[in-house]
Amino acid sequence: MQPITVTSVEATALELPLARPISSALGVYPHVDCTVVRVHTDDGHVGTGFTACLGGHASAAIVPYIDRELAPRIIGENVLQPEQLWHRMWSPNKARQRAGLGVWALSAVDIAIWDCVGKAAGLPLHTILGGYQQLVPVYGSGGWHSLSDDDLVEECRGFAELGIGAYKYKIGTDRDRERTALLRQEMGPEFVLLADANQKFNVREALESAAMLAEYGVAWIEEPVVADSTDDLAAVARSSPVPTAAGENNYFRWGFRELCERNAVDYLQPDIARCGGVTEFRKIGALADSFGLSLTSHLWHELSISVVGAAPSGWACEYVELIPEGALTRSFDVVDGHLAVPDVPGHGVEFTTEALTSYRVS
Nearest by Cα to 194 from 154, 223, 158, 226: 223
Q: Which helix (H) or strand (E) holds 231?
A: helix 230-239
CATH number for 6-122+353-358 (one of 3.30.390.10, 3.50.50.60, 3.30.830.10, 3.30.70.100): it is: 3.30.390.10
In 3D space, the residue among 70, 85, 66 whose CA is nearest the CA of residue 4 turns out to be 85
Q: How many CA atoms lie within 13 A of 269 on its CB side?
A: 25
Q: For position 27, what pLDDT does the model report?
A: 80
Q: Do domains 6-122+353-358 and 127-340 have the same CATH topology?
A: no
Mean pLDDT of 286-301: 96
Confidence category of residue 62, pLDDT binned at 50, 70, 90: very high
| Positions of E strands within the chain | 6-24, 27-41, 46-54, 135-141, 166-170, 192-196, 220-222, 244-246, 267-268, 294-295, 317-319, 338-340
3-class DSSP state of 138: strand
For residue 41, what pLDDT is reported? Answer: 97
CATH superfamily of 127-340: Enolase-like C-terminal domain (3.20.20.120)
Confidence of residue 28 (pLDDT cuts 50, 70, 90): confident
Give pLDDT, residue 44.
94
Instruction: Specify the pLDDT at position 227.
Output: 95
What pLDDT digit, counting tens, does each position of 198-234 carry? 999 999 999 999 999 999 999 999 999 999 999 999 9
How high is the pLDDT of residue 224? 98
- Percent of the chain beyond pLDDT 70? 100
Cβ within 8 Å of residue 344, ≥6 positions away: 124, 330
Q: Is the pLDDT of residue 19 over 90?
A: no
Q: What is the average pLDDT score of the chain? A: 96
> Tell me: the pLDDT tens digits for 234-252?
999 999 999 999 999 999 9
Gap between the Cα atoms of 70 and 105, Å rounded: 8
Q: How far is CA 302 from the centre of its chain?
A: 9
Mean pLDDT for 24-30 is 83
Phi, psi (rounded to 5 degrees) for 140: -70, 145
Q: Read off the pLDDT of each residue in 40-59 and give the average, rounded to a whole number.
A: 95
End-to-end Cα, the chain, rounded Å: 40
Residue 238 phi, psi dihedral angles, 5° rounding: -65, -35
Average pLDDT over every residue of 79-88: 97
Per domain, the residue ranges of the chain are: 6-122+353-358, 127-340
N residues, the chain: 362
pLDDT tier for residue 1 given thresholds of 50, 70 and 90 = confident
pLDDT average, residue stretch 33-40: 98
Contact 79, 39 (CB under 8 A): yes
Question: Over 90: is that where the pLDDT of 362 sits?
Answer: no
Q: What is the pLDDT of residue 333?
A: 95
Q: Is the pLDDT of residue 25 over 90?
A: no
- At 220, the amino acid letter reads W
Q: What is the pTM of this model?
A: 0.96
The answer to whether residue 26 scores a pLDDT higher than 80 is no
pLDDT of 279 = 98
Q: Is 333 left (phi over 0), alpha (psi -120 to 50) or beta?
A: beta
Torsions phi, psi for 125 (to 5 deg) = -55, -40
pLDDT in tens, 175-200: 999 999 999 999 999 999 999 999 99
- CA separation, residue 136 to residues 51, 60, 191, 226, 318 (Å): 22, 34, 18, 30, 10
- Cβ neighbours for 14, distance < 8 A, ≥ 6 positions apart: 33, 34, 35, 36, 59, 351, 355, 356, 359, 360, 361
Distance between CA 45 and CA 41 in Å, rounded? 6
